[in-house]
Structure 1
Amino acid sequence: MKIITVNVNGIRAAAKKGFFDWLPKQDADVVCIQETKAQQSQLTDPIFHPGAYHCYYHDAEKKGYSGVALYSKRQPKNLKFGIGLDYVDKEGRYLEADFGDLKVVSLYMQSGSSSETRQALKFRFMDDFLPHLRKIAKAKENWVLCGDWNIAHKAIDLKNWRSNQKNSGFLAEERAWMDTLFDEVGLCDAFRQVNPDAEQYTWWSNRGRAWDNNVGWRIDYQITTPGLQARVKTVEIYKQQRFSDHAPLTVCYEI
């Protein structure tokens, strides 16, 4: 099974940059998209509903903001638009597809870089989300939680880690939370099951020449339940084309 996750930083902008020309060539089974920045009423063009897929969108109430989507070749048995937390769901940050033996989530975690208020909301979500993640780790079915988690886990996951230790996305509390997910809860970072190398980034600031100099962060993940840990076969961060300030992350599983 091939799963792609990508933050498109505006799905209409990504379309103009060739995202929907690239996507069919990937032949992915599931595609998780974050930061659509659009209402479904603005996505009536068939390009936003690729024929090979069942396509689902979960919009933010605020226009031009946040939003997630999930495309799947196989029709889900059930869908959850939101996680049951009002402050999360009104921003369109969680979409879950149930395929029976497998559940896939498109997740867009808050960024705290804009203000202390937003960072506090991010911490609140991390606290509220953790019990759900503990439950997932013990579930009988396999889970893949895809998306922009807005946290670089370790120093290897961003270029300038020393100067970013007091910045949102690499705060000690955020990294400790990720430690809890992997070391205590038992969830798995699919990418690191296969690729242990440095300078493997999925996001680059639009400031300066971050992309040209590969001054990036790895903040996009596919996080799985323990049963899939040994089933990760290949991983790829696609950088041959740029559809947004993030790069698509592709993971192939033996499922």
Structure 2
Amino acid sequence: MLRLVSLNLNGIRSAASKGWLQWAEQGSIDCMGVQELKAQAADVVPRFANVAGLMGHFHYADKKGYSGVGLYTRAAPSAVITGIGEPEFDAEGRYVEARFDTPTRKLSIISCYFPSGSSSEERQQAKFRFLGVFFPYLQLLAATRELILVGDVNIAHREIDLKNWRSNQKNSGFLPEERAWMTRALDELGLVDVHRLLRPDDGGEAYTWWSNRGAAWANNVGWRIDYQLATPALAATARSVSVYKAERFSDHAPLTIDYDLTL
């Protein structure tokens, strides 16, 4: 069994101070994608190069205290790729891929942090640019490799995926263009939303992000914006899914899926 976790840390040092490391140690995790490190190599390597017996592989943002992703693996990858070859977004540290290739299989696990467009129209346009360039990149990858992409996609796909969908139809994260991108990823690329495969009717129990404003967490006014998207053969091996809410390490909750799979 492969236990795969995705978690936006909202700062790796902050999450560590709130018990993330202790939780990971107890979780029997085989692979963990993390997003929004908000730290550079000088901060990460001394303390977080290895977590819960897992080796860390990272893609840092050029800007200090911003973005950055990591992928922790128990098995040693055959190769690690950082970035998608687009300077605008590679400078923001948004993509790390670990490959586990054998003579009979090409398999990738990816940790990705999609841009948020909520802070300004400028950032929303950057998000649209990212979606535009990432689709063909992912299309080529999915055509040539088995893959599981985990991460903060910053898109709630369907009405069931957020509490207040009616009032958010013109807000970043639930815009028609963003939702259409997710639909294309599932329909045209053939990727599978593994949470929905296992539990198609999950509503509030599926939320993975809550605003720090007001009482969003207390009232479960959340969004499901963290995903595990897999090519069909890998998705078919998924056995269970859970969102951990007993503790809060960041404004996101860990999404854990167990696969009948070995790396």
| TM-score (ref. length: structure 1) | 0.97
Report the equivalent of 2:186.
182
Note the 1:212-223 alignment, pairs <5 A.
212-223=218-229
Say which SS state the counterpart of residue 13 (structure 1) adopts.
helix
State the alpha-carbon separation in 1 of the partners of residues 230 and 69 from structure 2: 19
Report the equivalent of 1:20.
21
Report the equivalent of 1:162.
166
Asked if 1 retains the 8 angstrom alpha-carbon contact of 2:97 and 2:111, the reply is yes
Q: Which amino acid is the alignment partner of residue 170 of structure 1? A: F
Q: Which amino acid is the alignment partner of residue 169 of structure 2? A: Q
Unaligned runs of 5+ in 1: none
Asked if 1 retains the 8 angstrom alpha-carbon contact of 2:25 and 2:52, the reply is no
Percent identity, please: 52
Q: How many residues align?
A: 254
Report the equivalent of 2:139.
134
State the alpha-carbon separation in 2 of the partners of residues 44 and 69 from structure 1: 11
Report the equivalent of 1:73.
74
Asked if 2 retains the 8 angstrom alpha-carbon contact of 1:107 and 1:146, the reply is yes
| TM-score (ref. length: structure 2) | 0.94
Moved more, 210-219 or 55-64: 55-64
2:235 to 229, 236, 239: 229
Note the 1:23-38 alignment, pairs <5 A.
23-38=24-39
Report the equivalent of 2:56.
55
Asked if 1 retains the 8 angstrom alpha-carbon contact of 2:112 and 2:152, the reply is yes
Superposed displacement of residue 51, structure 1: 6.0
Report the equivalent of 2:10.
9
Superposed displacement of residue 44, structure 1: 4.3
Unaligned runs of 5+ in 2: none
- Does 1:112 pair with 2:112? no
Deviations 1:11-35 (A, max 9, x none): 0000000100110111111110000
Report the equivalent of 2:207.
201
Q: Which amino acid is the alignment partner of residue 184 of structure 2? A: T
Runs (4+) of structure 1 exceeding 4 A deviation are none
Cα RMSD (Å): 1.2
Superposed displacement of residue 49, structure 1: 2.2
Asked if 2 retains the 8 angstrom alpha-carbon contact of 1:137 and 1:226, the reply is no
Asked if 2 retains the 8 angstrom alpha-carbon contact of 1:136 and 1:225, the reply is no
Report the equivalent of 2:260.
254
Asked if 1 retains the 8 angstrom alpha-carbon contact of 2:109 and 2:148, the reply is yes
State the alpha-carbon separation in 2 of the partners of residues 11 and 149 from structure 1: 18
